[in-house]
Structure 1
Amino acid sequence: MAWSTRELAELAGTSLRAVRHYHDEGLLPEPPRSSNGYKHYGVRHLIQLMHIRRLVDLGVPLAEIPTLDPSTDSYREVLEALASETTAEIDRLVKVRGEITQLLEVPGAWEMSSGTTGSTDGDFLTVLSRVLDEDSLQAWQRVGESIPDSQVLADFENLPEEASAEMREDVAARMADAVRDGLAAAPELDDPGFGEGTSRSLGTRSIGEALAELYSPAQLRVLVRCHELLSAE
């Protein structure tokens, strides 16, 4: 008993359009026809169609299927290449799933987080993550995590535009005290390295532009003064 095109497609778990396309591409031979012109497919056609579908599902391009012979080395090479691509895609998806989980657990979280209550520092760390190398970025994060005085961070974050020189000096001095030990334990930041493909010029300019855009003039004065206090020691 022979099968019609529709029946063959149903048995193979594919569509009429796919069967016709495989005929057009020369992947599936045309079956004999009955006197009324209807195609009659047999077991060999079904097995061959299922083989084509399996290779397609594995990611083998249609153009390569006619040349694949399981008895040749090229057949194994194609499958090994697909296995490597699949492993890389799985790794990517695992990373994506982790990032999605992080966003679900902490709504609104960015790729990088400073651990503070505001988003400005998080945005700044995100910029750093694009320009610094891994060692320098981790060193910067360690410094932030080592700050024991959360009040000075809050005072810096809420520093008013019209802050007096005395107020700025107070915040700068307390911030210098807060980061001193952390900086001593992070020598990488004495001469931070930049990521692969990021020139020192672009990295330095990007950090400067991020500071200017994310922090107010009063906050920038505090950061400059903090740096001066630490450098003078």
Structure 2
Amino acid sequence: MNSAEIARIAGVSVRTLRHYHQVGVLPEPARRANGYRDYTVSDLVLLLRIRRLTELGLPLDEIQPMLKTSGRADVVLDELDRELAAQIERLAARREVIARLRAAGASPDTPPELAGLLASGASGGAGPDLPPEMLQYDREVVLLLHHRLDEDGRAALAGLLTQVTEPDILAATTALTARFAVLGADTTDEEIDQLVADSHRALARLTYDEWKEVDPRTGALLTAYQETVLNDVQRAFLARLVAETEDSS
């Protein structure tokens, strides 16, 4: 048999066959005078055994010892069984996450513990509809923070989002976000002053007992992200709001 014939009979690709030769799990057979490999039935049987073991999940580097050493079957099967049990647990956990995301109507890349909160925030409550780009900005800022925070920080973030998504607060913060979204070069100083004052009143309704300031690196990342999506007036507004909040604390 040549390479194509044995591969077809064994139900593997010629590329797989060559890979088995390269890693040494299947010895290369003698070649004919024309240079083509000449496989025997013994080679076919060995190839079928290798295929069966790989289908069970045995790594290629474990197959050769398995084939050559008697009494190793129980050890190998125990190891495979433990690995499969661990995989089942991981898959079950993933399915649970998928179910939570579906129930919340959240995007697949949303942290599951924030799924319901982000979905509620995106709904806007009784407030005005927000521009899609502002919804995306809010969501991506939260995702960036969630990635950078430790376990306590993530819990504090979830606590803040829980407060923001309370119906009586959500409508107000959504209205403020809508006003922030339209800040631009034609916005008057009076409009900015009023938005700053209203934002301070909204922030005063929230509690930050568990919240800690983000580390400088995270702050730099947030600033860099804002520079890519916000205009000059919006960034100046946020800088002023943060500075005044820190001065009053």
TM range (shorter): 0.5 to 0.7
CA contact (8 A) 2:137 2:229 kept: yes
What's 2:50 paired with? 52
The residue correspondences of 1:53-132 to structure 2 (distance < 5 A) are 53-68=51-66, 69=69, 71-72=71-72, 74-76=75-77, 78-80=79-81, 82-83=83-84, 86-87=87-88, 90=91, 111=110, 115=122, 117=131, 118=134, 119-132=136-149
CA contact (8 A) 2:57 2:80 kept: no
Cα RMSD (Å) of the superposition?
4.6
**Alpha-carbon offset, residue 53 of structure 1:** 0.2
Of residues 183, 191, 213, the one that matches 1:159 is: 183
Using the size of structure 2 for normalisation, the TM-score is 0.59
Distance in 2, Cα, partners of 1:217 & 1:6: 65
Cα pair distance change 1:221/1:71, threshold 3 Å: same
Higher RCO (Cα < 8 Å, 6 or more apart):
1
The size of the alignment, in residue pairs, is: 211
**Which is helix-richer, 1 or 2?**
2
What's 1:139 paired with? 159
CA contact (8 A) 1:127 1:210 kept: no
Match of 1:135, as an amino acid?
A: A
Of residues 217, 225, 228, the one that matches 2:244 is: 228
**Alpha-carbon offset, residue 157 of structure 1:** 1.0
Structure 1 residue matching 2:210: 3-state secondary structure: helix
Using the size of structure 1 for normalisation, the TM-score is 0.62
Match of 1:148, as an amino acid?
A: A
Unpaired runs of 5+ residues, structure 2, are: 30-37, 112-117, 123-129
Match of 2:76, as an amino acid?
A: Y
Unpaired runs of 5+ residues, structure 1, are: 31-37, 195-199
Distance in 1, Cα, partners of 2:246 & 2:54: 63
Distance in 2, Cα, partners of 1:160 & 1:19: 64
Cα pair distance change 1:143/1:95, threshold 3 Å: same
**Alpha-carbon offset, residue 155 of structure 1:** 0.8
Cα pair distance change 1:157/1:143, threshold 3 Å: farther
